[in-house]
Amino acid sequence: MADLLSDDEIQRKLPKGWDREGDEITKTYEFDDYLKGIEFVTRVGEVAEEEFHHPEIRVGYKEVEVRLTSHEEGGITDQDIRLAGLFDDEV
């Protein structure tokens, strides 16, 4: 099991464009059209499955909100930070 990050570590490690909300980190991605967002969700899902670390995803019109937390640890770990960077690479 990964260690929980401190508040300072989270702020220092959080990738640009991501926010910390309680025990989660979150980012809302904007797209030119709805189906581009859906295609992005598919790529995110594939990465999540490969890494076996799964986000919550909300799909809106031309936007996709991704939320990450480490359920087993009960907070934010390096795994969440790492996945955030991997998801950014899928845009």
Ligand X SMILES: C[C@H](O)[C@H](O)[C@H]1CNC2=NC(N)=NC(=O)C2=N1
Question: Which one, 62 or 78, has the nearer CB to ligand X?
Answer: 78
| Helix/strand/coil for 37 | helix
The residues that are catalytic are 49, 53-54, 71-72, 80
- Output the smallest distance, CB 11 to ligand X, in A: 20
Task: List CB contacts of 2: < 8 A, sequence separation 6 or more.
Answer: 70, 73, 77, 78, 79
Residues 43-82 that bind ligand X (CB under 6 A): 52-54, 69-72
**Footprint of ligand X on this chain (CB under 6 A)?**
52-54, 69-72
